[in-house]
A and B are shown apart, each in its own frame.
Chain A
Amino acid sequence: MSNNSNAALLEFVLRLGDNNLILGHRLSEWCSNGPFLEEDIALSNIALDYLGQTRILYTYAGTLEGGKTEDFYAYERFEHEFTNALITELPNGDYAHSIARQLYYSVFADLLLTELMKSKDATLSGYAAKAIKETAYHLRHATDWTLRLGDGTEESHQRMQKAIDDLFMYTGDMFATTEKEKSLVAAGIAPDVPALKAAWTKKVESVLKEATLTMPDAATWQMQGSRTNRHTEHIGYIIAEMQYVTRAYPGNKW
């Protein structure tokens, strides 16, 4: 494989891995703070699913770069080196906000993985086949709670609608791509991510409709940046907490 296509593949694999790590880290903040015990465990389970997916992807990235470890990607990179979609780094907010984030992201991940299963790269298609089972459950969980809160009490409806509206401006960034990624699409390795937008909108719309919620205006201004190394202010706080121990005690084993 040429150096150019290797660099493109590395960029794409890290994009997938970073999405999983940062969202998983955010969700893990619910551990011991969930609305009730069973839901606390459900969210922690989902966080662990994302972490497991991250490990597969970072390990693969390490082989592409010749010997870097999965820990390197999680613990030894700076904010601007992370390429996760902006929506994954947003604070948890109230429960409705976390559920809205899960709904938006899970619909996206489900579509992405369905396409990625057809990848000509055997590691990526294998990863997708494993991950889609987990993602199908995440989507079921998020859909179920969206219906419950949207079609629940007056207060739950109003808070779910607010969360759906608040986070909508970060959804467009999930579909951002790069020149390198386009070369992978042409080679049959990566799915055409921007092309997933129509199916995503249709699916989200149908869930929101059933939940008696209103789909935000498609013309809403969208924040971009995750593919050009620009983040929201929140990423720094996540990285600081996540990397503190390994930065304070470099190379320590436990």
Chain B
Amino acid sequence: MSNDNQFPLWEVFVQAKSGTPYKHAGSVHAADKEMALMNARDLYSRRNEGTAIWVVPASAIVASSPEEIGSFFEPSNDKAYRHPTFYEIPAEVKHI
């Protein structure tokens, strides 16, 4: 698009409650970090979804590329011993 005059893109991560991991909620456009935080608050916490928000410039995120899928992820496919399936997880342990 030649007429894309939107602000830069930011990725939004929301924490549902204290102690839980931040989860990717979506993205917003904003001119700077303060606006990004306010926009994220308005878009992703208006139905009581969270208690804390991170915003990250989308350009600062380093992503693996689809071409690398083989070298990145296949080596783990055949090493079942890496999975902690041989342990009982105590009921008291949350968020695993």
Chain A contact residues, CB within 8 Å of chain B: 36-39, 41-42, 45, 140-141, 144, 148
Contacts and interface: CB of A to CB of B under 8 A. Distances in A.
B46 A45 contact: yes
Contacts, number: 27
A34 B39 CA distance: 13
Interface residues of B, number: 13
27 contacts: A36-B6, A36-B7, A36-B29, A37-B29, A38-B28, A38-B29, A38-B30, A38-B39, A38-B42, A38-B43, A39-B39, A41-B39, A41-B42, A41-B43, A41-B46, A42-B38, A42-B39, A42-B42, A45-B42, A45-B46, A140-B38, A141-B38, A144-B34, A144-B35, A144-B38, A148-B31, A148-B35
Q: Is the interface of A mostly helix, strand, loop or mixed?
A: helix
A36 B30 CA distance: 10
A37 B27 CA distance: 12
Contacts of B6: 36
B75 to A, nearest CB: 41
A198 B12 CA distance: 40
Contacts of A38: 28-30, 39, 42-43
Interface in B28-81: 28-31, 34-35, 38-39, 42-43, 46
A26 B6 CA distance: 26
Contacts of B42: 38, 41-42, 45
Given A41-B46, A45-B46, A148-B31, 16 more contacts: A36-B6, A36-B29, A38-B28, A38-B29, A38-B43, A41-B39, A41-B42, A41-B43, A42-B38, A42-B39, A45-B42, A140-B38, A141-B38, A144-B34, A144-B35, A144-B38
